[in-house]
Amino acid sequence: MHQNGTMTNPRLAVVILAAGQGTRMKSARPKILHELAGIPLVGHVLSTASELDAAHVVAVVRHERDAVATVIAEHLPTAIIVDQDELAGTGRAVELALSGLPDDFDGDVVVLSADVPLLDAATVNGLVASHTRMNNALTLLSAFFSDPTGAGRILRSADGAFEGIVEQKDATSEQLLVTEINAGVYVFDVARLRAALAAIGTENAQQEKYLTDAAAGIRSAGGRIEAVPVGDPWLVVGINDRAQLGAAGVELNARIVRRWQLAGVTVVDPATTWIDLQASIAEDVEILPGTQIKGVTTIERGATIGPDTTLVDCEVGENATVKRTDATLAVIGAGASVGPFAYLRPGSYLGDNGKIGTFVETKNSRIGAGSKVPHLSYIGDTTVGEGTNLGAGTITANYDDLAKHPTEIGSHVHSGAHNVFVAPVRIGDGAKTGAGTIVRKDVPAGALAITVAPQRNIVGWVEEKRPGTDAAEAAAAANEELAD
């Protein structure tokens, strides 16, 4: 039984080549751990492998072995990890992968590359079906590229039959003119594959054991080989550098955006809207320009997101409005309003019909239904009840330079402008605070808290202390007018 509840195919195994260093990426991070649409490159390939319902999935690793193996285990815990040894090449990697299969396995082996992230399970399943139907020893995907530089070329006879694969560095000038490339996606009969790999050497420009040389061995042994061109070349594009990563990201995002548009989501400007694969968006959501919906963010029906908004792993309720906001691990209730220029840090919760307004930062705080923090405030480690309004410039001072402390503000509280609540402190239901109040002690329910000193006016101060200034002259003229 497969982990998603479907039956596995006992005659199918998948090998994922994940050992390469990826030097052209010029990165301290392994190439296949770079992300597209919120998922590492190898994660995309593991997802495809999982959908094939193969009985066995084997990943071959080497560069940054532990980091890569950890990510593989996170995305597909049932995958078998095999380490590549000092002998280089994809042929050697597959040879080692076969050692991870049961000794009595006698089915077909699908070989995928961890840096080819856009390939979908439907395409691979079609390749497997063709392989089985035609009783092939090897079936591989090919593609036609206008610029095939760097890729192995498919060689065909005059009648179009498969003749071989030649790598870029081993190709003749005539062979380099071929635009049909080897996509690096294979289905092998395992017995034919084992025999061919045993005979492969390293007599080539790279001094590696090429998997592509297995095709020649299988063909010479009388095995039938078929190269099947893929209709959509993007499905087999490999990622070797940052430029290719960026181009693949744009293409994948365009497909994700289109999918949501066809599902009933309005995306005003697809070119400036980025949506990760794991996000979930309901019908009648409107997404305005400059918006990023990342991670496992979920957005319910009728919400409006953007413009210029980033949501990471957030939940947004029905008919909520989130404008010019940066939010991570936040929950925004139905009918709530956030922004513009709001910053919701992890642990922020805004209840139904609540408001977090302009230039407001929240962190690890729960703001109840109908409560409002409209302007210029910081709310951290705070619980706010229902129907409360916090005045402009409210600050919950939660940190004493040693530890964070909580603030509890009840329901139907109204605080004046420019209040500071020095935690730990509790404000009872229905309480009021005056403008400029610094609250250091608990405020009982229904009480008014004020800390304002009596106002003192020093008459004549400007004329005495700032003689000759515009302010002094204006004050003198005003006083003369009053005297008259």
Our answer to whether residue 375 is catalytic in this structure is: yes
Residue from 2, 63, 375, 405 carrying the catalytic annotation: 375
What is the C-alpha to C-alpha distance for residues 211 and 111, in angstroms, rounded to an integer? 10
What is the C-alpha to C-alpha distance for residues 278 and 32, in angstroms, rounded to an integer? 19
Question: Phi/psi class of residue 419: alpha, beta or left (left: φ > 0; alpha: ψ in -120 to 50)?
Answer: beta
CA-wise closest residue to 286 among 311, 309, 305, 261: 305
25: tokens are: 């990426």
- For CA atoms 73, 76, 80, 84, the dihedral sign is negative
What is the C-alpha to C-alpha distance for residues 361 and 17, in angstroms, rounded to an integer? 45
CA-wise closest residue to 82 among 59, 64, 102, 66: 59
Return the active site residues: 375
